[in-house]
Amino acid sequence: MQRRLFLRDAACVAAALPVIASPGAWALPATAAAAPSVADLLAQGWQVHDVTTTIELTERTANGRVWLPLAMDELPGYQRTLATRFEAPGAKLAEVMATKGQDTRLLRVAFTDPAAPQRVVLTQRIATRDRAVNLGARPNMKPLSAAELHPYLQPTSLAPLDGKVKQTAEQIQKDAGNPADTIAKAQAIYDWVIEHTRREGSVRGCGTGNVAFMLESGNLSGKCADLNGLWVALARATGIPARDAYGVRVDDSVHGYKSLGKSGDITKAQHCRADFYAEGHGWIPVDPADVRKVMLEEQAGGLALTDPKVRAARAMLFGAWEMNWIAYNHGHDVPLAGSQLPPAGFLMYPQGETTEGRLDSLDPATFKYQIRSEKVTA
């Protein structure tokens, strides 16, 4: 008989995610009485998706481990996790964990019986709404404290803030006339990344995010984790609080961009974005990597920077995100509890290990996982 495992708090999780009491029934948060229904959310301009990840360890050993990123509970105004459920037949352990000092949460599952099924099915119901900041509005938001912003000014293993990163950040500001305004400084970095980098289709997954290597080698090509990771590092080196946002596309773009959306099978639709903090305005979304994606993929043969579609994407993606995408976390150097291997530089893909070592997250055919998105309309 299969054993169903329910969400169980780790000691460092402040509040449990909702759990499912029976197959097909969605659990609700503790504040469910006050929470709007799906119909209410749809009427308010939100869209709702069920995102399901299915993993099966075909290499069954006595030490099978799986770690799945979970969507962030709430990003005010543009993302809400409504419910979570999972099944892990044959597992010894299944628990939700949070990374200390970060906003990264994950589902950890451990298998010890090679004869038992080693399968996980995780579904989250997530509501999103397009995000945009009026950069011309009068700043009136309550400022965040230095302690709240501190994590977003720190170096990481992939993105140091000294050496070539610092030198490049200073040169960008110098070339821009050393603007004093935070938004103007961020815009200068955004423009520089778009104009000096290149999306490289042959790069596996979303890239490695190794900013130091990119600048030291002079090879400014890659994908979103590289290009947006570079933007974040340059912003932090300039003194601007900035963060990567790791997630996955869940629907097609309503703006007509074929390259900026994915629905149905989203196994390979992971995407990293970025945002920065400006006092009085709060967190402001950006996505220079998607501008480069439009240039490379929107049309056969590519598009020039001057093409109207590229110019429109460039204007839109400084200050706005189309939320046909969900955010998992802003984490870096994420430890995987129970693993003997180094932390993950970032957590955007399912992670897995057996006694033979860590599985290749960028090869879902061999690792054997699939992610699907289904739009909820009622």
The model's pLDDT over 56-94, given as tens digits with 9 standing for 90+, comes to 999 999 999 999 999 999 999 999 999 999 999 889 999
Mean pLDDT, rounded, of the chain: 90
- Does pLDDT of 46 surpass 80? yes
Given a cut of 90, is residue 32 above it in pLDDT? no
Q: Give me the mean pLDDT over the 180-186 stretch.
A: 97
pLDDT in tens, 135-173: 999 999 999 999 999 999 999 999 999 999 999 999 999
Q: How far apart are CA 238 and CA 182, in angstroms?
A: 9
Is 80 exceeded by the pLDDT of residue 34? no
Q: Where does the pLDDT of residue 108 fall: very low under 50, low under 70, confident under 90, or very high at 90 and above?
A: very high
pLDDT tens by residue, 318-345: 999 999 999 999 999 999 999 988 999 9
**How high is the pLDDT of residue 5?**
33
Most distant CA atoms of the chain, gap in Å: 69
Angstrom CA distances, 261 to 35, 200, 249, stand at: 29, 18, 6
| CATH classification code of 132-322 | 3.10.620.30
State the Cα–Cα distance between residues 127 and 35, nearest whole angstrom: 12
- The stretch 245-253 carries a mean pLDDT of 98
Higher pLDDT, 278 or 11: 278
SS3 228: helix
**Given the structure tokens 């998992």, which residue do they identify?**
328
Q: Where in the chain are the domains?
A: 32-129+330-376, 132-322
> What's the pLDDT at 36?
83
- Which residue type sits at 151? P
pLDDT at 16 over 70: no
Contacts (Cβ under 8 Å, ≥6 apart) of 198: 220, 221, 292, 296
What confidence score (pLDDT) does residue 7 get? Answer: 35
Token output for 364: 């879902």
Confidence of residue 242 (pLDDT cuts 50, 70, 90): very high
Buried b / exposed e across 136-159, counting CB within 10 Å, b at 16+? eeeeeeeeeeeeeeeebbebbebb
Quick: pLDDT tens for 338-352.
Answer: 998 899 999 999 999
Containing 217, the helix (H) or strand (E) segment is helix 211-217
C-alpha–C-alpha distance, residues 113 and 98, integer Å: 26
- Kindly report the CA angle at 213 between 212 and 219, in degrees rounded to 5? 120
How does pLDDT run across 201-222, given as a tens digit for each residue?
Answer: 999 999 999 999 999 999 999 9
